[in-house]
Amino acid sequence: MYLWVDLVTPSIPERLILSDTFHFHPLAVDDAMSEIQYPKIEAYDGFLYVILHGIDFEESRNCFATHDVDFFLGTTYLVTVHDGTSRSMAELRDHCPRNTKLLGEGPVALFHRIVDSMVDHYRPEIDQLEERIDRLEAEVFADPTPNVVREILKAKRDVAGLRRIVQPQRDVVGRLARRDFVDISTEMSFRFRDVYDHLVRIADDSLIFQDRITGILDAHLSNVSNRLNEVMKVLTIVSVIFLPLMLLTGAYGMNVTLPHMPGGDAAQFWWIAGLAAAIVVGMLLYFRRRRWL
Amino acid sequence: MYLWVDLVTPSIPERLILSDTFHFHPLAVDDAMSEIQYPKIEAYDGFLYVILHGIDFEESRNCFATHDVDFFLGTTYLVTVHDGTSRSMAELRDHCPRNTKLLGEGPVALFHRIVDSMVDHYRPEIDQLEERIDRLEAEVFADPTPNVVREILKAKRDVAGLRRIVQPQRDVVGRLARRDFVDISTEMSFRFRDVYDHLVRIADDSLIFQDRITGILDAHLSNVSNRLNEVMKVLTIVSVIFLPLMLLTGAYGMNVTLPHMPGGDAAQFWWIAGLAAAIVVGMLLYFRRRRWL
Amino acid sequence: MYLWVDLVTPSIPERLILSDTFHFHPLAVDDAMSEIQYPKIEAYDGFLYVILHGIDFEESRNCFATHDVDFFLGTTYLVTVHDGTSRSMAELRDHCPRNTKLLGEGPVALFHRIVDSMVDHYRPEIDQLEERIDRLEAEVFADPTPNVVREILKAKRDVAGLRRIVQPQRDVVGRLARRDFVDISTEMSFRFRDVYDHLVRIADDSLIFQDRITGILDAHLSNVSNRLNEVMKVLTIVSVIFLPLMLLTGAYGMNVTLPHMPGGDAAQFWWIAGLAAAIVVGMLLYFRRRRWL
Amino acid sequence: MYLWVDLVTPSIPERLILSDTFHFHPLAVDDAMSEIQYPKIEAYDGFLYVILHGIDFEESRNCFATHDVDFFLGTTYLVTVHDGTSRSMAELRDHCPRNTKLLGEGPVALFHRIVDSMVDHYRPEIDQLEERIDRLEAEVFADPTPNVVREILKAKRDVAGLRRIVQPQRDVVGRLARRDFVDISTEMSFRFRDVYDHLVRIADDSLIFQDRITGILDAHLSNVSNRLNEVMKVLTIVSVIFLPLMLLTGAYGMNVTLPHMPGGDAAQFWWIAGLAAAIVVGMLLYFRRRRWL
Amino acid sequence: MYLWVDLVTPSIPERLILSDTFHFHPLAVDDAMSEIQYPKIEAYDGFLYVILHGIDFEESRNCFATHDVDFFLGTTYLVTVHDGTSRSMAELRDHCPRNTKLLGEGPVALFHRIVDSMVDHYRPEIDQLEERIDRLEAEVFADPTPNVVREILKAKRDVAGLRRIVQPQRDVVGRLARRDFVDISTEMSFRFRDVYDHLVRIADDSLIFQDRITGILDAHLSNVSNRLNEVMKVLTIVSVIFLPLMLLTGAYGMNVTLPHMPGGDAAQFWWIAGLAAAIVVGMLLYFRRRRWL
């Protein structure tokens, strides 16, 4: 027999349950009420206080959001406090009435089940982030918009934010798996080790993502330079071909007596045209030799 | 019953209180008097000597400033030494006469209260720093002034300065929370753990800030390159279109007999204009195919 | 006497061998069935559960692929689960009937033999990766295609993927060599130390590879900049030589009375040509002094 | 009663004092005689052997120089070996005859006094290095000479050299402060903790300096790119305005019959001038809209 | 009395000495025979197995090469296996007949002597590497050839290769100095501490080298950008001066009636020349104000 109390954005009177009924330490109660908390685990006299984070993808803002769930884990009770956005908690509450076995293994097993479900919800978000990075990589090489650097920077921040949540979460679960706390049985530590493995992989993924984003930014800079090179080659080739030709026509536009080439007046034009063609061919050969064409 | 002695920029005779009345170790007294000290905690016989830093934002110089507060914490007394700029100390002295409970829990609780208040004052400064970084990021993408690199470098230094203060501070409070020192009760260690969590988050924030500033600088460099690309494209497009046209007009300005196109003298101009239009259209198609337009 | 059970992509009934015959822990059985697992070693009551990775080069996709092999190592049995792509397992099954000594030293020796063979198969893949990096380095300096950055990024990802597999693998074998688990005899720990040395070298290689790829990317960026410099020098040299010449011919094309140089009308042209030649020679000397030529 | 022997660049016979009179271990004697040694502390039977570095700024070469001082610290003696350039040693020898208290606290106190004085001499050098970095930062933003990169690289090397000396020095003094060696009394360990704090700050400063120099180099590269952008904008604006105008004049220089604008012959020029003015105004508006002006 | 067996590229029968006479563990014998081994130390029953690396500079390939020497160190014997290229071993074998004291201190002292000599041979190679880096740094600032990036990358690889060898070597000798193994006397540990100091310095040097090479590459990139800036300034200055002049001459080449300046026909030219001079002077003043000249 044990008690599961699930408080969803508790009102002031409901908060009294924590402080007056359960007599939890005021600091733990304060933490459970406050907004921004990092994942952590703290042993108090008679109970463990755990903060873990679930993950959501906010479609509207196209970025990650996390919500924290607070656990008070005693030998005969589990108290959970959250803001109602956790899908894991919602699913569990739905399934409970139909599936009595779900609750039958004691508070630690119930706690493990919630944690496991929360960590399972990370995977699709991780996959979506990976897709975004794949898309950015493809875009950088294919047809980068001016916006791509901003997108890269945004992905970088999301990955940093993910690491910021996952790493302490991994350490919390790792401590449960290593049985740093006496309330955890061997059997339960095996289960937490399983969750821990998941979190290690996610933390590892986020490191890989970070590396890839750095690589994408490097590639983007390299591509920008390459494209500048291409632009400058076009400008240089055109200038180098046309400037001599323009000098030639300019020279024949001078109001001075130019040397007369063999042939009549009409032949003069063809001499010039021939010289121009020779210049063009010579330049093209020069560029070919330099591998610019 | 315990004693709280608060020394504000002590005069020479007041300093004798430390050395002659309390018989503190001369090195600790020297540290308390000296200007630049990093946060640290040191155990001496019979008392703990702690240096912590409060934070201020200097409007005039638009940068961070910190002031250090020195604590001598004994079992029956708390001696604080500071330069009077600490808001936490000022508030506490204001509240004391009205709120007797404030002082009623012994010197360690009083010490905790000061430390907690000092750390609470960090938050608005952190937020302001984050705003500055947000503004820099927006500016880099929108309309960077030549000054933006200097601003970025300045923010980078402020973040480095913040880390330099927060990390040893975090470690000091962490040692109090882990009860490395016998004078700290379990209850007090819980409270210091709470302060420690705050400092961990602030230290974490400063790491994130550093990452973001690096990202902003990278983005800025990338944007500068992109803008150079844009400038060069305009130059190249204009040159590639006008140089052939200028060659054409130059050729018709030559003082030689040019081949006569079908039609009368007036038609010659329209032949040339048609050829020029063909050149322009051809070039525009070329640039479109290269996605420069 | 001991038992070796080798399960290749076990069907549902075969899986019952793990859970019902051997009574392995459900979490270990789940891990053995699941797809993506990192190398790890876990002690359960009565057996060690080990995941290791073999390596394959997929010709078709020109990248690395790894397959995991799961080991259940007890005192009187070894159970292996894999998907049939492991060459080490295939070879061992081939050799067994002919070479009875192969199986004669107990389950730990058999386990070592498989691990050793799997690690031996890494070497050719590592060599191939090194060749690819050599080729990229040569290409960057010789005749880089626009694709080279993409190739570099791909190699970088492969190296990161390799490290991701090799480092936990190294740690797993290191724990076997350090005899963290009681089932390993001194003699066996010597053998695992040997495998461990191989994995340390491979992990070290992958770090060196990573460094080299960073260097190659830097060199590529530097080369792109150098080539831009070359292009711009050609443009500048041509412009600086031809613009003054074109001004000269333009000046002589003006419909105003120009100062008459000494000599007759025919001499005027040679004055101009001489001036032009002087300009060209002067510019060339200037460029030579600046070491642009 | 104890003995202080101060050997300044000892001659061969003087060296015998170390080996034959004090019977120090040959390896320690060899180290004391050799030129390049890093700060370290070594316990031998009956004495501690310590190498520490003083710092000098060589005006002539405008860079740091360090000299090492070797200490043999026994219970009844202190032997110091150095090359005579140490200001700390010179000052102490000057003060000794006048100040008997200076020597009265035993060899460890004397040793501490020397070390403290040596570390105090670091501060002005650190300040000077900081000034150099400030100057480089100002120069990079104001009016960088081509030499500035070289200066930055030089400062970087000096900072690296400083770290190379300070970090082992800090660790040596840290071990004395932590009382890793039995010869150090609690009182003395407090004093060494004080010196240790100084060295921690200096080591910290050198890390900050390194960060700043990296930032300065980044800023310099960014500024170079910015200036290139400025140069290219000027070129592009001028080209984009003048090329169409030159085409216009070129067109009116053609030896063909051009369409006659309304008005007499003299009006033709004003039509052209008006068209030219329209082109210039249009281009300027375009550049203003692109924020290039 | 002890035995020193020195095997130079042992033939198959000679190898039997290791396995059959000394009964060394097969894995140690295998390692001694295999080609590529990292420095390591391994304790077997009754003997220590050590691999260390000597260093050679291969003139022909202008890069580092290392050869490994294997040691089997027992209480009554030292067995060394190498390929004959070790200068330390050659020197020792030469000196032995003449200097009986050389061998008189037991196998550990002999082992130390070889190790010490091998480490001493590193210094000239380190110095040569430093010279190469000095030369690269000078070249980057003075007159960089296109090959300089390749040279830098090559030096970077050599430094990485050096670190790869020196760091495990340092750790091996460090373990001998810390007396992790019972066979080492205090006196011997002092001697190994001396060798350890050398290796620490060499490892430190290699880190400094790596930093410097990174700095050199940064400086090179910065210089390339600077030179591009110079090139573009020349192009821009010339274009900005000549395009207006060319427009002027083009305007006076138009076949329309231009406004007549005061003065006769001959004066017209001087009006134009004056205007041109005014344009040139104005542009030069503009560039001077922008500090481009």
In whole angstroms, give the CA distance from residue C46 to residue C56: 32
Which residues on chain C are in Cβ contact (under 8 Å) with E238? Answer: 236, 239-240, 243
Residue A261: its pLDDT value, please? 83
Task: State mean pLDDT over A249-271.
Answer: 86
Cα-atom radius of gyration of chain A, to the nearest Å? 35
Residue B59: its pLDDT value, please? 57
In whole angstroms, give the CA distance from residue A244 to residue A238: 11
Q: And the tokens for E84? A: 């004959």
Q: What burial class does residue D77 get, using C-beta atoms within 10 Å of its C-beta: 0-12 exposed, 13-18 middle, 19+ buried?
A: middle
In whole angstroms, give the CA distance from residue E148 to residue E171: 34
Q: At C96, is the secondary structure helix, strand, or coil? A: coil
Closest CA to B247 of A243, E138, A161, C28: A243
For residue range A74-89, list pLDDT tens digits in order.
989 999 998 888 888 8
Closest CA to E246 of E267, E272, E271: E272
B257 interface with A at CB cutoff 8 Å: yes
For residue range C140-191, list pLDDT tens digits in order.
888 777 788 888 888 888 888 888 888 889 999 999 998 888 778 888 888 9
D233 interface with B at CB cutoff 8 Å: yes
Q: Which chain C residue has the Cα nearest residue A216?
A: C153
Tokens 């500055």 -> residue: B132
Q: Which chain E residue has the Cα nearest residue C239?
A: E235
Taking the CA of residue A84 and the nearest CA in chain B, the distance in Å comes to 25
For residue range B132-170, list pLDDT tens digits in order.
999 998 888 887 777 888 888 888 888 888 888 888 899
B149 interface with D at CB cutoff 8 Å: yes
Residues 23-42 of C with CB under 8 A from A: 25, 27, 30-31, 36-38, 40, 42
Q: Which chain E residue has the Cα nearest residue C258?
A: E269
Residue E247: its pLDDT value, please? 93
HEC-encoded secondary structure of C22-81: CCCCHHHHHHHHCCCCCCEEEEECCEEEEEEEEEEEECCCCEEEEEEEEEEECCCEEEEE
Percent of residues, chain E, with pLDDT higher than 70:
97
The number of C-beta contacts closer than 8 angstroms across D and E is: 114
Does the pLDDT at position C264 exceed 90? no
The number of C-beta contacts closer than 8 angstroms across B and D is: 113
Alpha helices in chain A (DSSP H): 12-16, 26-33, 87-95, 107-120, 122-142, 148-177, 186-252, 265-289
Decide if A40 and B197 are in contact by the 8 Å CB cutoff: yes
Residue C170: its pLDDT value, please? 92
Residue E293: its pLDDT value, please? 76
Decide if B153 and D200 are in contact by the 8 Å CB cutoff: no
E215 interface with D at CB cutoff 8 Å: yes
In whole angstroms, give the CA distance from residue D193 to residue D198: 9
Hey, how many other C-beta atoms are within 10 angstroms of the C-beta on D35? 6
For residue range A145-199, list pLDDT tens digits in order.
778 888 888 888 888 888 888 888 999 999 999 888 877 888 888 899 989 988 9
Backbone angles phi, psi at A77, to 5 degrees: -155, 160
Measured at the alpha carbon of residue A272, what is the angle toward residues A266 and A278, in degrees to the nearest 5?
A: 140
Q: Which chain E residue has the Cα nearest residue D268?
A: E256
Task: State mean pLDDT over A215-228.
Answer: 87
Task: Please tell me which residue, A32 or A100, carries the higher pLDDT value.
Answer: A32
For residue range E185-207, list pLDDT tens digits in order.
888 888 999 899 889 989 988 98
Give percent helix, percent strand, percent coil of chain E, each to the nearest 5.
65, 15, 20
Decide if B219 and A44 are in contact by the 8 Å CB cutoff: no
Q: Which of A54-58, B4-8, C227-231, E86-90 has the lowest mean pLDDT?
A: A54-58
Q: Mean pLDDT, chain B, as a whole number?
A: 86
Q: Which chain A residue has the Cα nearest residue B250?
A: A249
Q: D5 forms bridges with which residues in the sheet?
A: D79
Q: Which of A204-208, B115-119, B268-272, E90-94 has the lowest mean pLDDT?
A: E90-94
Closest CA to C47 of C108, C104, C101: C108
Q: At D61, is the secondary structure helix, strand, or coil? A: coil
For residue range E166-179, list pLDDT tens digits in order.
888 999 999 999 88
pLDDT bin (cut points 50, 70, 90) of residue C62 is low
Closest CA to A120 of A157, A87, A160: A87
B158 interface with D at CB cutoff 8 Å: no
Residue A185: its pLDDT value, please? 87
For residue range E41-67, list pLDDT tens digits in order.
988 888 999 999 988 766 555 566 778
A245 interface with B at CB cutoff 8 Å: yes
Q: Mean pLDDT, chain A, as a whole number?
A: 86
The end-to-end CA distance of chain E, in Å, is 82
Does the pLDDT at position B187 exceed 90? no
Yes or no: say if E212 and D157 are a contact pair by the CB < 8 Å rule.
Answer: yes
Backbone angles phi, psi at E180, to 5 degrees: -65, -20
CA atoms within 13 A on the CB side of E48: 23
Q: Which of D44, D153, D253 sits opposite E219 (nearest CB)?
A: D153
In whole angstroms, give the CA distance from residue B208 to residue B130: 10
Yes or no: say if B66 and B86 are a contact pair by the CB < 8 Å rule.
Answer: no
Task: State mean pLDDT over C63-69.
Answer: 78
In whole angstroms, give the CA distance from residue C169 to residue C118: 11
A286 interface with C at CB cutoff 8 Å: no
Residue C272, H or E segment: helix C265-289
Does the pLDDT at position B41 exceed 70? yes
Residue E279: its pLDDT value, please? 93
Task: Please tell me which residue, B115 or A58, carries the higher pLDDT value.
Answer: B115
Q: Which residues of chain D have pLDDT under 50?
A: none
Which 8-state DSSP code applies to residue D20? I
Q: Which chain C residue has the Cα nearest residue E256?
A: C255
In whole angstroms, give the CA distance from residue D275 to residue E67: 80
Which residues on chain E are in Cβ contact (under 8 Å) with C136? Answer: none
For residue range C7-53, list pLDDT tens digits in order.
888 888 888 888 888 899 888 888 888 877 788 898 888 899 999 99
Which residues on chain B are in Cβ contact (under 8 Å) with A255? Answer: 255
In whole angstroms, give the CA distance from residue A122 to residue D128: 52
Decide if B253 and A254 are in contact by the 8 Å CB cutoff: no
In whole angstroms, give the CA distance from residue E243 to residue E19: 87
Q: ipTM exceeding 0.90?
A: no
Tokens 């209260």 -> residue: B113
Chains that touch D (3 or more CB pairs under 8 A): B, E
In whole angstroms, give the CA distance from residue A168 to residue A52: 9
In whole angstroms, give the CA distance from residue C40 to residue C168: 7
Decide if A201 and C36 are in contact by the 8 Å CB cutoff: yes
Residue D261: its pLDDT value, please? 83
